Structure 1
Amino acid sequence: MIEDETAGKREETGTVRIRRLPSNKTKIVCTIGPSSTSPQVLADMIRSGMNVARVNFSHGTSDEHRMLIKNIRAAAARLGRTVAILIDLPGPKIRIGKLIQEPLILSKGETVTLTADPASSDLAAIPVNYPGLPSLVTEGTTIFLNDGFLQLKVIRISGQEVVGKVVIGGPLLSHKGLNLPGISLPIPAVTPEDLVHVDLGLDEGVDTFTISFLDNPKDIRVLREYAHKRGVAIHIVAKIERAGAVRAIDAILEEADAIMIARGDLGVQIPIEEVPGVQKLCIQKANKLGVPVITATQMLESMTENILPTRAEVTDVANAILDGSDAVMLSAETATGRYPVETVRMMAKIARSIEAQRTTLKGRSRLEEDLLTGINRRELTVDDVVSLNVIQATHALSPRYILTPTRSGRTPRRISRFQPDCWILSFSRDQRVADFLAFSYGVVPFFVKPDEAAWHDRIFDMIRDAGLAKTGDLVILTEGSLPDLAGATNALRIIRLPDRTGLHSL
């Protein structure tokens, strides 16, 4: 969209190169791994619809992470696209270590040994990366591996070893997760190792991080304060994957910049049949506050090995979009799968199809109805009123675009939560704000150089020069009485896009 990144560190350019908008408004988050690290595959994934590149710091070395960030930016710059980079911090997750042979096949009824001793000489034991594991379990504890697909029942504990009987078997790979539902780890969600990863990200100009396995908003404040001491304002995505996070969702949404519904671990931490309801509830709450929400895990899982997804997976993606997700995420499908580019392309096709049917299938959004009928009216803000009026105007006039100059990104996010039929073109003088809008449904972020003076003229010139609009097109423009103050948007104008000599308001 905007050529705003180069190979290496961030460079602000503001050069518009896009000539057409994407086919779908739902954003696509792709996990980058062995299948997708090459410059050519990265470029093909961007062309196919990738908006956010997720770099999972649970895997790889610091040098590999730096090179990957560099390659993502280089591919985005070559294509003139905005691709946000999301660093996924590992958090206090217990993982299987490096297996000597993989996949390791666990057979039902056999006895296996997990060792928390990094110096263990038992080659038959399964290494675990958490020394405290033996102190967390007792005889009879159920241990879940690989998002619950494998299960062990503890039969004894001996020193640093936990011996278990395989209840549900199957293949096990290195670095897969180990879950103990109902057992709280005695360590914070933001670990010392996470802070080392944050330092690397900040050094590389990345400012968006996930917090894994949090139970309350305290960890969000800890991470934000850590970055603040380094002089950087960061964006934090809270992963909802523990029962505690579900219980604290309202408080977490007040602190987080976005949330990710991580259904893999969530489906182990809570009864799996409750996951769909939790997903819908979290999306509804996030939409109400204008907080971007990512639905993640196993969305097109079968495409890890197959060229086509199952019908159930297609329906899952479509329903997540209808629920109000800003973004949908691919994990193993693009990290280790055989068809990373085809998977992104399929995700975009599903999104494009269901978005075209949104009005027929859902009619007016529940959030819009709540605001119109006065539910929670005491909680309405100026942002709510402006965004609702914008949406009402789009229903009546079907404008070409909604144009939102913004300093904080708040106005386009508040409009985006209604998922309008037309695109929201957002313009910011802050590169980080523009990048984070890559997470919001239907928002195309533009970076405007800080030395640019007249907002309106520059915005109109940018979309004309990009070939996105022409003189006479109907647009809705949001603006504030104090244009240099964040959060001051309090009005809208309905405009016929002027020629280069002046404005023509309706």
Structure 2
Amino acid sequence: MFLPPCRTKIIGTVGPSCGNASTLETMIRRGMTAARLNFSHGTFEDHLHNIAAFRSAAAAAARPSTILADLPGPKIRIGQLASDPLTLEKGDEIILTTDDMPGTASRISVRYKRLSESLSEGDTIYLNDGFVELTVLDVQKDSVRCMVVSGGSLLSGKGLNLPGRKVFLDNPTDQDLEIMDFALAEGINIFGVSFVEDASALVKVRDFAAKRGKTIHTVAKIERAAAIDNIDSILDEADAIMIARGDLGIEIPIEDMPSVQKELIHKANERCRPVITATQMLMSMVEHARPTRAEVTDVANAIQDGTDAIMLSEETAVGRHPVTAVTTMAAVAASFEQRHSELLWISALREELKNNLVRKQISVADMISLNVAESVLALDISFVLTSTVTGMTPRRISRLKPSSWIIAACDNEAVMNFCFMSSGVYPLIMDKKTKPWHESVVEKLKLQGIISPGDRVILTEGQFSGPRGGTGPGGTDTMAILTL
């Protein structure tokens, strides 16, 4: 048992730059706690290789880790270009066509047959995460004539966004379901569901897995304006959310992005849902060994907002410095975690729980989590030990971002895997029937020299209430402070 260097979880996207066991092992040792497989790129053969490499690396590092399968969803992309990269100049006219053909500076194919139905004269189109902007001049049956408003470079397969326009694509797509079959067969049970606008796509994905006898965890990717409007119903259905700022920053005014990020993180924490902040966090490290000051501040601000996890995309998948990117992100997170004092939003969330108690609306589980967080702060306790069936108790504690590690004793591998999405939670698979579970956890901590006689730890478990005499879901009813 080797604790990561920071409590904030770091998700690294696996790709050509890091798709070998040796590099991945180093990344895990430096702080990467989960691997993201981006199924928008690569073949099943590529992903099989990456899954095997990551699992081998995690075993070699003696640090359990988890995998997130990121489904492409109804993303519109351009087709293959005749030559990469292609540069579009401001003022040029270009035709977007649904015909499959090699793209040139005058004509580019789009992998969306109903493109003309979605657009009207005067509409705006964004390419390549918004770096290239087009204005629609004329709409024909199978093509759209545009003018380049803001030029830039394009690569084959880059995304195309139609902000505010109706997109006639199912979610999940047939391709998504094919990918799910592949991932489920490989033992992956956490899925990123792209371009959700309401809870329906999450229900369909969960039902698809259930029909195959599988229980999964869903991560709703918030990247459409409609998802912000429907965030409450999405949080009801999702197990976690990802703030995918690339597409979301195109769908909404970019100046609104900071406040929207803060609001989404706060709502997710209120609802006990882990939240991942993603896209361009250390983007300059695709090429350079050092990030910009703005990027470092962006990472720290996301942690201060209350995010559970921060994600690296191109930085690790195709960047020149994947190990350095993880090392840098972990160092920024660890430094901020060590130095920040009580955060205003955490205090506000605790006060909300206290007010609920006065109004007699607080649950036993919330009362336990609140008291754990207060005790960690008052007594400077480094470890909380919790027994969990569903992962909800460590999640309830984690959302309050205590300065302690939360060691979650699980008897289910799927629950353990999903616990890796919550800040400060370090899950362990454990047989709770042979001896008192907390004794086994304490022994592991002692063997690593992490705790010593005289140290205090907090223990939470179910003893008196809930299903199965307090050992089932929702059964946490007891908190104790132990001196070793």
Length-normalised TM-score, structure 2 = 0.95
Amino acid at match of 2:144: V
**Residues 42-96 of structure 1: CA distance to partner in whole angstroms, max 9, x if unpaired?**
1221121111111000011111112211111111111111221001100001012
In the other structure, the counterpart of 1:484 is 471
Match of 2:301 among 304, 311, 319: 319
**Residues 316-342 of structure 1: CA distance to partner in whole angstroms, max 9, x if unpaired?**
111110010001111111111111111
**Residues 454-481 of structure 1: CA distance to partner in whole angstroms, max 9, x if unpaired?**
3233233333334432333211000102
In the other structure, the counterpart of 1:493 is 480
- Structure 1's 242 and 305: CA in aligned 2 closer, same or farther, altered over 3 A? same
In the other structure, the counterpart of 2:390 is 408
In the other structure, the counterpart of 1:125 is 107
Q: Note the C-alpha offset of 1:187.
A: 2.4
Deviating 4+ runs (over 6 angstroms): none
Amino acid at match of 2:80: K
Amino acid at match of 2:201: D
- Whether 1:355 and 2:337 are equivalent positions in the alignment is yes
- Whether 1:153 and 2:135 are equivalent positions in the alignment is yes
In the other structure, the counterpart of 1:76 is 58
User: Given that residues 123 and 135 in structure 2 are in contact (C-alpha distance below 8 angstroms), is that contact kept between their aligned partners in structure 1?
Assistant: yes
Q: Distance in 2 between matches of 1:39 and 1:310?
A: 29
Match of 2:43 among 45, 53, 61: 61
Q: Note the C-alpha offset of 1:253.
A: 0.9
Amino acid at match of 1:422: S
Question: Which deviates the most, 135-144 or 365-374?
Answer: 365-374
Question: Which deviates the most, 406-415 or 155-164?
Answer: 155-164
- Whether 1:222 and 2:204 are equivalent positions in the alignment is yes
User: Given that residues 103 and 109 in structure 2 are in contact (C-alpha distance below 8 angstroms), is that contact kept between their aligned partners in structure 1?
Assistant: no
Amino acid at match of 2:245: R
User: Given that residues 5 and 30 in structure 2 are in contact (C-alpha distance below 8 angstroms), is that contact kept between their aligned partners in structure 1?
Assistant: no
Structure 1: give runs of 5+ residues left out of the alignment: 1-17, 498-506
In the other structure, the counterpart of 1:92 is 74
User: Given that residues 371 and 377 in structure 1 are in contact (C-alpha distance below 8 angstroms), is that contact kept between their aligned partners in structure 2?
Assistant: no
Q: After the TM superposition, which residues 107-506 of structure 1 pair with which residues of structure 2 at under 5 Å, given as runs?
A: 107-118=89-100, 120=101, 125-359=107-341, 362=344, 365-374=347-356, 377=359, 379-449=361-431, 452-481=434-463, 482-497=469-484
Q: Distance in 1 between matches of 2:60 and 2:168?
A: 46
**Residues 260-300 of structure 1: CA distance to partner in whole angstroms, max 9, x if unpaired?**
00111111111111111111111111111211001111111
Amino acid at match of 2:11: V
Q: Distance in 2 between matches of 1:361 and 1:36?
A: 35
User: Given that residues 243 and 278 in structure 2 are in contact (C-alpha distance below 8 angstroms), is that contact kept between their aligned partners in structure 1?
Assistant: yes
Q: Note the C-alpha offset of 1:29.
A: 1.0
- Whether 1:49 and 2:31 are equivalent positions in the alignment is yes
**Residues 146-172 of structure 1: CA distance to partner in whole angstroms, max 9, x if unpaired?**
111101112223442222111100111
User: Given that residues 82 and 438 in structure 1 are in contact (C-alpha distance below 8 angstroms), is that contact kept between their aligned partners in structure 2?
Assistant: no
- Structure 1's 188 and 349: CA in aligned 2 closer, same or farther, altered over 3 A? same
Amino acid at match of 2:476: T
- Look up the SS of the partner of 2:341 in the other structure: helix
Q: Distance in 1 between matches of 2:286 and 2:242?
A: 21
- Structure 1's 201 and 364: CA in aligned 2 closer, same or farther, altered over 3 A? closer
User: Given that residues 259 and 292 in structure 1 are in contact (C-alpha distance below 8 angstroms), is that contact kept between their aligned partners in structure 2?
Assistant: yes
Structure 2: give runs of 5+ residues left out of the alignment: 464-468
Q: Aligned residues: percent identity?
A: 48
Q: Distance in 1 between matches of 2:20 and 2:195?
A: 30
In the other structure, the counterpart of 2:466 is none
Aligned length: 478
Q: Distance in 2 between matches of 1:230 and 1:379?
A: 39
